[in-house]
Amino acid sequence: MSGLPADPSGPGRPESLPATAQTGGARRMTDWDPDALDTDEMILQMGPQHPATHGVLRVELRTDGEIVKAARPHIGYLHRCFEKHCENVDYPGVMPYADRMDYCAAMGNTLGFALAVEKLHAIQVSPYVDTVRVIMAELQRIASHILAVGTYTMDIGAFTPFLHLVRDREKILDLFEWTCGARLLYNYNWVGGVSHDLPDGFVKATRDLLREFDAVTFPEFLDLIIHNRIFVKRLSHVGVCSPELAIFHDLTGPNLRGSGVKRDLRKDAPYCGYETYDFDVCVGTGQYGPVGSCFDRNWVRVLEMRESSRILHQALDRLEKMERTDVHEKVPKRVKPPKGEVYFRSEAPRGQLGYYVVSDGNVNPYRVKVKSPCFTAMSAFHHLAKGLMIADIIALIGSLDIVLGEIDR
């Protein structure tokens, strides 16, 4: 591999295969060559338009009957040049683009970017704004996990739980809509504040929601899915990821905790005052099979929803006692951080979301690089998929809870 070789034939290259730049057009003999297949083997393209790949993901499977001998994911179908866009808009202009990365958990994306720029800009927001951000982030976490586990049950063949869960997610989206007018892509967290203050009655409405969540939704969740014998038997031995592999391939969030590693950025590197809340970090225990199975990852997600509910109760209590401040108080007229760079990570619903922001003292970011938790989770996929059945591949992809918008950015 050496640099970009000159291509003599140029763009008008009719019948030859598209030459990859780095190999200089030479086809290498790999596992993926048709000539390298054994007699009973077949290469199967799963996706990109496949309902169970959670977006436009193409997975190349080398199969022997129903057994997957090797898998190779191909991403990039949803690449929208997020990082290039960032260099051409100002800092507040990045927010709507950041929303669109992980469109199932947009609050978490903008929160990470806002905190990164605030660190660069040395802005300290008021405790009121911090509490509002925590409330929004945790509501978003519940909504995101609801969608993750709900669609997961649909992937493995149960349709009813999805309908129940999406009904409950809808109530959270209603709260978001009431607050900032948007249901999915909010542009809510700004550099130095949030876009709208909470409406009057928000605390009561959220309490009503949580009362129902704690008493009805969560127990129903456990009865319908997690303690369901079929669900447990189907998943507790599938897609086992060891803690070493999880750290080696940088699985984060529920995927890492599903492997039994008790690490959560809200505890280890707290932001927004998370250190003052009382909650537990849930980990997979392997009670029905090996630790780190597809079941454990979902188990962690479900338990995390209860912890989010606990955080929300505490945050709402504080909010009632707290004096309201102007949520735009610290929003700079012109976001122009001094020259420098920062790497900031936060615990988004899908794992550690990192922003590497380089500023050259201008109104536009010089460079923004996103460490997406789904991207790194997908990079371990070929390890986990080896030796599974084709039907288990679906279960594995769903349990990693990927959103292609964030992988491809």
Both tokens of 109, joined, read 């994306």
237-296 binders of other proteins (CB under 8 A): 245, 247-250, 261, 263, 268-269
- Per DSSP (E only), the strands in 136-259 are 189-190, 193-194
Residues 246/259, Cβ–Cβ less than 8 Å: yes
Residues 276/134, Cβ–Cβ less than 8 Å: no
Number of residues that bind other proteins (CB under 8 A): 50
Nearer to other proteins, 117 or 315 (CB): 117
Nearer to other proteins, 231 or 381 (CB): 381
Nearer to other proteins, 79 or 227 (CB): 79
Residues 27/20, Cβ–Cβ less than 8 Å: no
Q: Which residues pair with 351 in a beta bridge?
A: 348
Cis peptide before 48 (omega within 30 of 0): yes
Q: Residue 235 CB, nearest distance to other proteins (Å)?
A: 24
Contact between 53 and other proteins by CB under 8 A: the answer reads no
Among 79, 211, 227, 233, binds other proteins (CB under 8 A): 79
DSSP per-residue string spanning 77-131: TT---HHHHHHHS-HHHHHHHHHTTSTTSHHHHHHHHHHHHHHHHT----HHHHH
Among 57, 134, 238, 380, binds other proteins (CB under 8 A): 380
Q: Residue 341 CB, nearest distance to other proteins (Å)?
A: 6
From CA 307, how far away is CA 240, in angstroms rounded?
Answer: 25
Contact between 23 and other proteins by CB under 8 A: the answer reads yes
Q: Residue 24 CB, nearest distance to other proteins (Å)?
A: 11
- Would you give the binding string for other proteins spanning residues 154-183, x where CB under 8 A is met? ------------------------------
H/E element, 94:
helix 91-99
Among 12, 40, 159, 200, binds other proteins (CB under 8 A): 12
Nearer to other proteins, 45 or 287 (CB): 45
Contact between 358 and other proteins by CB under 8 A: the answer reads yes
Nearer to other proteins, 203 or 269 (CB): 269
Contact between 363 and other proteins by CB under 8 A: the answer reads no
H helix runs in 213-356, sequence order: 218-221, 229-235, 243-248, 254-258, 265-268, 294-321
Q: Which residues contact 282 (CB under 8 A, 6 or more apart)?
A: 257, 299, 300, 303, 304, 307
Contacting positions for other proteins (CB under 8 A): 1-4, 7, 11-12, 18-23, 75-76, 79, 81, 83-84, 119-120, 245, 247-250, 261, 263, 268-269, 340-343, 345, 352, 354, 356, 358, 366-367, 369, 371, 375-376, 378-380, 408-409
